[in-house]
Amino acid sequence: MAFRRQIVRATLQNANGNNFAQLARAGGRCLSSASPSSSAAPADSPPQLPPFDHRPKPYKGPSAEEVLQKRKTYLGPSLFYYYQKPLNIVEGKMQYLFDESGKRYLDAFAGIVTVSAGHCHPEILKAIVEQSELLQHATTIYLHHAIADFAEGLAEKMPGNLKVVYFVNSGSEANELAMMMARLYTGNLEMISLRNAYHGGSSNTIGLTALNTWKYPIPQGEIHHVMNPDPYRGIFGSDAAGYAKDVEDHIAYGTSGRVAGFISETIQGVGGAVELAPGYLKMVYDTVRKAGGVCIADEVQTGFGRTGSHYWGFETQGVIPDIVTMAKGIGNGLPLGAVVTTPEIASVMSQKIQFNTFGGNPVCSAGGLAVLRVLDKEKRQQHCAEVGSHLIGRLGDLKEKYDIIGDVRGRGLMVGIELVTDRKEKTPAKAETAVLFEQLRDLVFTVSESRRTVLTV
C-alpha cells in the first residue's frame, strides 16, 4: 500500500492531470447517472449525486486523524486502508455512505460486495434489533427456530440435491469447511483451484487462493493451480476448451489421477471481476467428477442475485455444484457464512463432531432470513440485471471514448473496468488506476481496485 501511495503522489505531481480528471469526471457521471442521455452534458462540469432524502445523524465521535492514529498504534502496520486521505465512514443508508462531516458518497463497492440489500435496510434492521433484544446467543445445543427457518429459506434457493446447510462466520470458514468436505468425501487430498482466485485467509484457504499478494509463505499441501479461463488476458481468449484441458493435464500428470475437488468463483472478485470463459465449468466439472472429485462453487461474491441473470453465479455456467459456499452478501454485513451441500456429502461429515460456536446464532440467522426476503420482495436480482446492463452499456461507451480502458466486463452489479496503457500489449496502467481511484473518491464515489489496475463496481 505504501508503494501505491508513492505511485499516486508521483503521478499527480508529474503527469498531465487533465486527461485523468476528465476521465474521472466522465466515469463519475456515468456511474452516478440514472439517465442514459447525460452523455450530452459538458465533460468539464462535475456530475451531481442523485438526490436522496436522508439526513445523517450529527457525528460527535473521534476525527479521522484520531482514528487513524489509534489504528496505527493498536491495529498493526499490516492493516491497510483506501485513499491517500482515508474516508471516515460513520453512517450508511441503502446505497449511500456518510463521512464525519455528513458528506454523502455513492457506495459502489458495498463494503466489498457485501451490503447486498443496502446499508441499514429497515426490514433487516428490524429483524436484527428484535432478535438482539430477545436472545443473541445460546448455541445449537439448544433448539431455536431462526437457524432452522433460515436453513430452509436458503435450501429453497438451491437447485438439485443441495439442501444441507452448515452455518459459519465468514467466507474463509466456509471454504475451509468445503475443502474438508471434499477431501473427506472422496478420500483424496488433491485440490484444484484457479490462478487469480481468492478463497480466504486461513491456512487451507491461503493454499487455494492463487494471487501472491494474499499468500503468505506457508506450506499449502496438495493444491494445484490451473490456468485461469480469463477471456481478456487468457491465452485462449473466450475459448473454454483450451483452459479446461489444463485441468485434465494437471490431473493426468500431477496427481494420482484421483482428486478431492475443484473450487472456483464464477466471477473472480478479488482477482478483478474476471468472468470465467463461457462453457468452462461444464467441461471442468465433468473432468473433475470423472477423477472422483467434487465441485465447489465459491459464491461469496457472486451469490444472492448479484449477477442479475441468475441467483447464483454458477447458474450462469449451466452447472450444479456439489458444494456451494457463501458469505458477504448473505447477511447484508452480518458476520455470517454458509456451506450448502448434498445429504450424501453431509453424511460423511457426521462421522465426527463438527461444531461452530457462533455459527447459526439467532441474530445472524434472523438477519440472514430477512435478507432473503428483502431480496425477493424488492426483486433485487432483476434490478441488478437492469441497472447492471445499463451500467455496462454506459461503460462500454466510455471504452470507445478512452483508449486507457482495456476491458469492461462483468454481469449484473459485479462490474470491472480494466485500465491499460497499451491496448495491444494490455500493459497494466497501475499509476493511472491509482490516480483515477483517488479522484473518484473526490467525486464522492467509492469503488475498489483489484490487482492495481481494475476498478470494480
Between β-strands 164-168 and 191-194, what pairing exists: parallel, antiparallel or unpaired? unpaired
Hey, which residues between 123 and 142 contact another protein (CB under 8 A)?
125, 128-129, 132-142
The residue range among 21-29, 358-366, 393-401, 407-415 that interacts with another protein, by the rule CB under 8 A, is 358-366
Binding another protein by CB under 8 A: which of 217, 400, 424, 425? 217
Q: What are phi and psi for residue 280, nearest 5 degrees?
A: -65, -50
Binding another protein by CB under 8 A: which of 84, 202, 256, 427? 202
Asked whether position 104 contacts another protein by CB under 8 A, the answer is: no
Judged by CB, which is closer to another protein: 199, or 394?
199
Q: Which of 165, 26, 128, 162 is nearest to 363 (CA)?
A: 128
Q: How many CA atoms lie within 13 A of 250 on its CB side?
A: 22
Asked whether position 80 contacts another protein by CB under 8 A, the answer is: yes
| Rounded Cα–Cα distance for residues 286 and 244 (Å) | 10
Binding another protein by CB under 8 A: which of 64, 94, 320, 387? 64
Closest contact distance (angstroms) between CB of 131 and another protein is: 10
Cell numbers given for 225: 493451480
Q: How many residues bind another protein (CB under 8 A)?
A: 114
Judged by CB, which is closer to another protein: 21, or 89?
89
Are 320 and 159 in contact by the 8 Å Cβ rule? The answer is yes
The residue range among 71-79, 245-253, 287-295, 396-404 that interacts with another protein, by the rule CB under 8 A, is 71-79
Are 286 and 240 in contact by the 8 Å Cβ rule? The answer is no
| Rounded Cα–Cα distance for residues 267 and 274 (Å) | 5
Place of cell 496427481: 255
Asked whether position 173 contacts another protein by CB under 8 A, the answer is: yes
Q: Which of 2, 173, 172 is nearest to 78 (CA)?
A: 2
Closest contact distance (angstroms) between CB of 282 and another protein is: 28
- CA 434 to chain centroid: 20
Q: Which of 184, 198, 154, 171 is nearest to 294 (CA)?
A: 184
Binding another protein by CB under 8 A: which of 17, 159, 201, 254? 201
- Sorted by sequence, the CB contacts under 8 Å of residue 86 that are 6+ apart come out as 64, 68
Binding another protein by CB under 8 A: which of 86, 159, 254, 278? 86
* Single-letter residue type at 234: G
Judged by CB, which is closer to another protein: 45, or 355?
355
Hey, which residues between 432 and 451 contact another protein (CB under 8 A)?
446, 448
Asked whether position 91 contacts another protein by CB under 8 A, the answer is: yes
The residue range among 45-53, 149-157, 392-400, 422-430 that interacts with another protein, by the rule CB under 8 A, is 149-157
- For 212-250, letters b (16+ CB in 10 Å) and e give eeeeeeeebebbbbbbbbbbbebebebbbebbbbbbbeb
Q: What are phi and psi for residue 171, nearest 5 degrees?
A: -65, -40
Closest contact distance (angstroms) between CB of 251 and another protein is: 18
Asked whether position 7 contacts another protein by CB under 8 A, the answer is: no
Judged by CB, which is closer to another protein: 33, or 175?
175
The residue range among 8-16, 285-293, 307-315, 353-361 that interacts with another protein, by the rule CB under 8 A, is 353-361
The residue range among 37-45, 305-313, 342-350, 371-379 that interacts with another protein, by the rule CB under 8 A, is 342-350
Asked whether position 119 contacts another protein by CB under 8 A, the answer is: yes
Hey, which residues between 38 and 57 contact another protein (CB under 8 A)?
57
